[in-house]
Chains A and B, each alone.
Chain A
């Protein structure tokens, strides 16, 4: 992970612990630092960091942690967040701004306003959610590095 070149493809893997909310966000912070190092434009770094942070927070709140894979290429940054949590019963509802199932303990820390998934959609170029009740959820997000239409 040291000194990667912006021309290289880069793969990053993180295990997100699920039992400590205050410790959440370390993976996103690490990704942010690396994307800055490889010289991605600040706007792209910002989009990836916020989307991944929201996802990481969700994993800790709802799914007792999980794993995150990030692939960085000159073309795009692809994030895959996998958990073995309870699954999302109604994805359409979960995508609505303001809909939240977060407990009061999380709300009292300033999170759980029901903005996580809509925000992840807002900051990324594509968002796919695969979920099964009692099995888990996989969220795939992509942020394009190059403007659409160029190679």
Chain B
């Protein structure tokens, strides 16, 4: 799915600027514990989390995540946004909760294993 579509599904706002039109995502994971996220060995394109601090961006960067979705109306500060821009990671914010966000994206075709062409 295109990142623009994902953003619409979650009524999300992009805080790192324009959502790049060309970016497509296939896999996702959701957790507030970065320790758990780091144990996921397969590539994930999207990380959904309610945790907001610079280490979330760094963790995502180590895992080659393309987009972080902050759920539950969590808002990253300027330093986090700058770090994400530097690392080429798109930041989205939604007021939806974790379960609802994951459910909607799963129903729309995103999963842990993904369906890469």
CB neighbors of A among B27-51 (8 A)? 32-36, 38-39, 41, 43, 49, 51
**A32-B62, A49-B62, A110-B32 known; A22+B54 contact, CB < 8 A:** yes
Instruction: Tell me, in angstroms, the Cα distance from A1 to B58 when the chains sit together.
Output: 22
A28 at the B interface (CB under 8 A): yes
Residue of A nearest to B51 (CB): A110
- Interfacial chain B residues near A53, Cβ < 8 Å: 38, 58-59, 62
Contact assessment for A24 and B38 in the assembled complex, using a CB-CB cutoff below 8 Å: no
Contact assessment for B38 and A46 in the assembled complex, using a CB-CB cutoff below 8 Å: no
Instruction: Tell me, in angstroms, the Cα distance from A119 to B39 when the chains sit together.
Output: 6
Contact assessment for B55 and A122 in the assembled complex, using a CB-CB cutoff below 8 Å: no
Instruction: Tell me, in angstroms, the Cα distance from A116 to B87 when the chains sit together.
Output: 23
Instruction: Tell me, in angstroms, the Cα distance from A42 to B38 when the chains sit together.
Output: 16
**A22-B54, A29-B58 known; A115+B64 contact, CB < 8 A:** no
Q: CB < 8 Å: which of B49, B55, B56, B62 contacts A50?
A: B62
A54 at the B interface (CB under 8 A): yes
Residue of A nearest to B80 (CB): A22
- Interfacial chain B residues near A23, Cβ < 8 Å: 54
B98 at the A interface (CB under 8 A): no
Instruction: Tell me, in angstroms, the Cα distance from A115 to B35 when the chains sit together.
Output: 6
Contact assessment for B35 and A25 in the assembled complex, using a CB-CB cutoff below 8 Å: no
Residue of A nearest to B64 (CB): A46
Contact assessment for B55 and A111 in the assembled complex, using a CB-CB cutoff below 8 Å: yes
B53 at the A interface (CB under 8 A): yes
Contact assessment for A109 and B58 in the assembled complex, using a CB-CB cutoff below 8 Å: no
Contact assessment for B35 and A116 in the assembled complex, using a CB-CB cutoff below 8 Å: yes
The 3 closest A-B pairs by CB, nearest first: A113-B35, A110-B34, A25-B58
Enumerate chain B interface residues (CB-CB to A < 8 A): 32-36, 38-39, 41, 43, 49, 51, 53-56, 58-59, 61-64, 87
A-B contact pairs, 24 of them (CB 8 A): A22-B53, A22-B54, A23-B54, A24-B58, A28-B58, A29-B62, A29-B87, A32-B62, A49-B62, A50-B63, A53-B59, A54-B38, A109-B34, A109-B53, A110-B51, A110-B56, A111-B33, A111-B34, A111-B55, A113-B35, A115-B36, A116-B35, A119-B35, A123-B41
